[in-house]
Amino acid sequence: MGSMEEKFDEQLLILYASQTGNAMDAAERLGREAERRGCPSVSVLSIDEFQPIDLPNKEAVIFIVSTTGQGDNPDSMKGFWRFLLQKNLTREWLKGVHYAVFGLGDSSYQKYNFVAKKLDKRLSDLGATAIIERGLGDDQHPSGHEGALDPWMSALWNMLYQKNHKLLPNGPDFVTPDATFLDQPKIQIIYHDVEEGIPPLSSAKELKYLETQVERARSMTPGKFSGNDRPDCFLKMTKNRLLSRPDSGKDVRHFEFDAVSSSIDYEVGGVLEVLPGQSPAALDAFIRRCSLNPESYITVQPRDAENHDFLNPPLSPVKLKSFIELTMDVASASPRRYFFEVMSYFATAEHEKERLQYFASPEGRDDLYQYNQKERRTVLEVLEDFPSVQMPFEWLVQLVPPLKTRAYSISSSHSAHPNQVHLTVSVVSWTTPYKRKRTGLCSAWLASLDPQQRVFIPAWFRKGSLPPPRPSLPLILIGPGTGCAPFHGFVEERALQSKTVSTAPIIFFFGCRSNNDDFLYRDFWLSHSQKNGVLSEDKGGGFYVAFSRDQPQKVYVQHKMREQSMKIWSLLTQGAAVYVAGSANKMPSDVFSVFEEIVSTESGVSREAALRWIRTLEKAGKYHVEAWS
């Protein structure tokens, strides 16, 4: 243990890789706890703000990383991970570096906490020493990831102290009494006397005004402060069509949008990110509850703004109400645990203060989880439950969950619909344990829009995990439910291509509950599977649909795949690519094991050899999965 003492620079470095904000939240909490324990120097950074080449000079690094999708790294970690995989890094590269890894994941997914497990192994392979065994947080635990984080953190302080007393000079159990320790908020708000006036309502000017408001507000979001967050384009809805049968218990929609601000370009398999609108009533209620002036103009900047040189040129002011509307999720996301802790400092009623302190303590963790996350209680509801709390606007801006864009698979082909983009969206709704109805913010908002009205929607295009296939590539597509969305685009595009070049066959496996209720795009698939269509048997293709509820026993896409075992194998031997899209829970892994079974049966090899064969297919970029929860 001696080497750690000698080399130590007394800094505890905490790096996080977050996709939705949970890992950032956990990392900031770890940083606050370290400060409360008297650690002389703590630094908390997003992993993409850190130069990986500096890793060997650090003594103690804590990684908090989440796993997204099918075992993927968060976007912010991709560069760091590529760096760590370089062949020229030796087994001694991180000798003397002490590290700890905590992962955030969900055990209902096949690749549970895959990112944390890979990172832990790689750091150790490069010669670093684990301070403590990796911790794995699980969304399925009654207290979410905090069920594992709390005990892991207690053990971490003890091990850190044993390794190097200087890190925790007052011992692992010393904690600053809370009363003295509410930090300054990390941001400051400057109020401006601006008379911008109402923009003239000509369409072009209104759009330009909206564009600057979105860009200004979103570039000031805490944790962002990045300058450019301009939407790729604004969309206007032109069609809002119900695809499922009314009263079927499902609400699945087909939306069509025209680009209004600039011409658009995307490929099939791409993803559209939409910034959802918030309920005007909820926004007004929040502004009233927090005693804010919606008409004032503000700029938001980091408190240590001089360290952020990108604030040159200085940010332009934005209307307070627009800032909340475009960046703060006040009526759909649940606040985090630290929100309750900060609220406790501003509660003037004693019973409210006590309840908030209890919620923020380890003992109150499970009760907080039941009250807050399980019920999906919103910021507005929480503030209304504790009327004596008046939080300064700086704290609200820092702690209210950010309003996030929502990503949807594009279901159109740009060649077939120039300057348009289509989506297939299931309107999310559920009932909480206390029997309260909840709906998904973005899907319910889109479903409520009337194509006759003029609503401009900020949108961004990005590549998904389904690369567009060339016309000569045979395809095996599996897309139950709204998983059919990207393949609607694939089929449209290939039908267009088939008019000018010869195209390879497509077989598509679709699944839904019943023929009458939610057979999405029935006429579209059937028309393309008729004479010489791109899904037709005479073209070597096929369309197979599984209705899970139309007969006594459940039938899923896997059953239909087994029935077409020979056909699937024949296409695979012709070099076909496999694309799987849909709900993330069990479907992708069930489909994967049916492929194993088919390869094993049809080619007469063992399951192990079949698994290796499919892994080779994945490595060759011919097995793609896009799944969402």
Tens digits of per-residue pLDDT, 156-188?
A: 988 888 877 677 677 767 777 654 556 778 888
Residue 86 structural domain: 2-180
Residue 406 assigned ligand-binding role = yes
Residue 29 falls inside a structural domain: yes
Give the neighbor-by-neighbor strand order of the sheet with 577-583.
Answer: 542-547, 506-512, 475-478, 577-583, 623-628
* Residue 156 shares a structural domain with residue 109: yes
pLDDT at 201 over 60: no
User: At which of 162, 180, 198 does a domain end?
Assistant: 180
Tell me 331's DSSP state.
Answer: S
Among 172, 136, 130, residue whose Cα is nearest residue 152:
136
Distance CA 219, CA 311 (A): 10
Q: Would residue 256 count as lying in a domain?
A: no
Q: Annotation-wise, does 440 bind a ligand?
A: yes
> How confident is the model at residue 199, as a pLDDT?
45
Domain match, 167 and 214 both: no
As to burial, measured by CB atoms within 10 angstroms (0-12 exposed, 13-18 middle, 19+ buried), residue 616 is: exposed
Q: How confident is the model at residue 10 (pLDDT cuts 50, 70, 90)?
A: low
Closest C-alpha among 103, 72, 424, 421 to residue 265? 421
Check the annotation: does 139 bind a ligand.
yes
CATH code of the domain covering residue 350:
1.20.990.10
CB contact burial 577-601 (16+ within 10 A = b; e otherwise): bbbbbbebeebbeebbebbbbbbbe
- Is residue 601 one of the residues assigned to a domain? yes
Instruction: Determine if residue 348 is labeled as part of a ligand binding site.
Output: no
Which of 7-16, 147-156, 243-252 has the lowest average pLDDT?
7-16
pLDDT band at 433 (very low <50, low <70, confident <90, very high): confident
Q: What confidence tier does 553 reach under pLDDT thresholds 50, 70, 90? A: confident
Residue 570 counted as an annotated binding residue: no
348 occurs within a structural domain: yes
* Separation between Cα atoms, residue 68 and residue 271, nearest integer Å: 16
Binding site annotation covers 557?
Answer: yes
pLDDT of residue 226: 43
Q: Which of these, 298, 112, 91, lies nearest to 194 by C-alpha position?
A: 298
**Is 441 assigned a ligand-binding role in the annotation?**
yes
Higher-scoring residue by pLDDT: 12, 485: 485
Percent of the chain with pLDDT over 70: 91
556 is in an annotated binding site: yes
Does some domain include residue 425?
A: no
Q: Would you say 107 is a known binding-site residue?
A: yes
Residue 21 counted as an annotated binding residue? yes
Say yes or no: 38 and 88 in one domain. Answer: yes
- Are both 34 and 145 inside the same structural domain? yes
104 is in an annotated binding site: yes
| Residue 363 pLDDT grade (very low, low, confident, very high; cuts 50, 70, 90) | confident
Tens-place pLDDT, residues 560-599: 999 999 999 999 999 999 999 998 778 888 999 999 999 9
> What angle in degrees, to the nearest 10, is found between the helix axes of 280-289 and 320-327?
120
Q: Is 621 annotated as a binding residue?
A: no
Average confidence (pLDDT) over 286-298: 93
Residue 108 assigned ligand-binding role: yes
Q: Is 333 annotated as a binding residue?
A: no
What is the mean pLDDT of the segment spanning 323-352?
Answer: 93
Please tell me whether 55 is known to bind a ligand: no
Which tens digit of pLDDT belongs to each residue from 28-57? 889 888 888 877 788 888 898 889 998 898
In this structure, are 31 and 172 located in the same domain?
yes
113 is in an annotated binding site: yes
pLDDT of residue 278: 95
Q: Is the pLDDT of residue 218 over 60?
A: yes
Instruction: Report the pLDDT averaged over residues 10-18.
Output: 87
Question: Are 341 and 296 contained in the same domain?
Answer: no
Residue 455 belongs to some domain of the structure: no
Helix (H) or strand (E) holding 527: helix 522-528
My answer on whether 343 and 207 are in the same domain is no
- Do 506 and 623 have their domain in common? yes
What's the rounded mean pLDDT across residues 427-451? 90
180 marked ligand binding residue = no
68 is in an annotated binding site: yes
pLDDT of residue 496: 96
In a domain? residue 488: yes
The Cα angle at residue 62 between residues 58 and 66, in degrees rounded to 5: 135
544 is in an annotated binding site: no
Residues 381 and 486 in one domain: no
Q: How far apart are CA 567 and CA 506, in angstroms?
A: 11
Quick one: what percent of the chain has pLDDT higher than 90? 54
Query: Does 398 count as an annotated binding residue?
Result: no
Query: Is 345 marked within a binding site?
Result: no
**What confidence score (pLDDT) does residue 200 get?**
44
Does the annotation flag 42 for ligand binding?
no
The whole-number pLDDT of residue 145 equals 83
pLDDT at 481: 92
CA 275-279-285 angle, to 5 degrees, is: 130
Looking up residue 570, the CATH number of its domain turns out to be 3.40.50.80
What pLDDT digit, counting tens, does each position of 54-113 carry? Answer: 889 888 899 999 988 778 888 889 899 999 999 888 889 999 899 999 999 988 777 889
Do 41 and 167 sit in the same domain of this protein? yes
358 assigned to a ligand binding site: no
Contacts of 238 (CB under 8 A, 6+ apart): 256, 257, 258, 420, 451
Compute the distance between CA of residue 343 and CA of residue 347 in angstroms, rounded to an integer.
6
Number of domains, the chain:
4
The reply, when asked if residue 67 is annotated as ligand binding, is yes
Q: Do 278 and 161 share a structural domain? A: no
d(CA 501, CA 27): 54
- Assign residue 77 the CATH number of its domain: 3.40.50.360
Q: Which of 282, 298, 327 is the last residue of a domain?
A: 327
Residue 98 lies in a domain: yes
409 is in an annotated binding site: yes
Are 497 and 555 in a shared domain?
yes
